[in-house]
């Protein structure tokens, strides 16, 4: 598939109207396979997550193509009053219909820009071992391999390792 033109993609803050579609995505078997939430995820949990992001002064952005929700990208900062306050965790997930079109990279780079504007120094991601698509995405976006959290993820068929990657913004 070809990448999408620059003007076809809009990345903007998630709104309440996006929550049903985002909840549908978290329950899609292809997406849920690598998310920390185990389906079925009720809509109320997605609503609570938006409130949590807002309370933590994080960011959650919707990825749209031609007005259609294609996925989301988010930033969850560490406690700014702690010695980890310069860091944040990043996540991204897309509707499988949009995989391989360059949206993930655009979304991650948009969030890297947001993190820089916020004065953050370090972004971290955890990727389930075996999720080669996400590993390639984050490596292509400048994230470096840091280590393994053995048996850090409980999959339907047993435990899997989590791969930790990070990008230093300075």
Query: What's the pLDDT at 27?
Result: 98
Helices of type H across 2-144: 19-26, 29-32, 43-55, 103-117, 132-140
Q: Does residue 124 have a pLDDT over 70?
A: yes
CA distance 154 to 141: 27
Residue 49 falls in which region: left (phi positive, over 0), alpha (psi -120 to 50) or beta: alpha
CA distance 129 to 124: 16
Q: Residue 122: beta bridge partners?
A: 87, 168
Percent of the chain with pLDDT over 90: 94
Average pLDDT over residues 5-27: 94
Other C-beta atoms within 10 Å of 79: how many?
A: 10
Q: Find out if CATH 3.60.9.10 is the number for domain 6-168.
A: no
Domain ranges of the chain: 6-168
């Amino acid at each position: 598939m070809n990448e999408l033109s620059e003007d076809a993609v809009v990345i903007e803050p998630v709104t309440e109207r996006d929550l049903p579609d985002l909840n549908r995505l978290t329950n899609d078997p292809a997406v849920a396979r690598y998310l920390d939430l185990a389906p079925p995820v009720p809509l109320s949990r997605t609503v609570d997550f938006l409130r949590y992001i807002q309370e933590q002064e994080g960011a959650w952005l919707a990825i749209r193509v031609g007005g259609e929700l294609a996925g989301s990208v988010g930033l969850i900062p560490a406690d700014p009053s702690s010695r980890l306050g310069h860091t944040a965790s990043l996540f991204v997930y897309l509707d499988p219909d949009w995989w391989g079109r360059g949206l993930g990279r655009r979304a991650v780079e948009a969030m890297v820009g947001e993190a820089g504007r916020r004065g953050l120094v370090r972004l971290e991601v955890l990727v389930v071992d075996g999720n080669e698509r996400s590993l390639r995405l984050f490596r292509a976006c400048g994230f470096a391999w840091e280590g393994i959290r053995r048996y850090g993820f409980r999959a339907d068929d047993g435990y899997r390792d989590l791969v930790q990657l990070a990008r230093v913004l300075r």
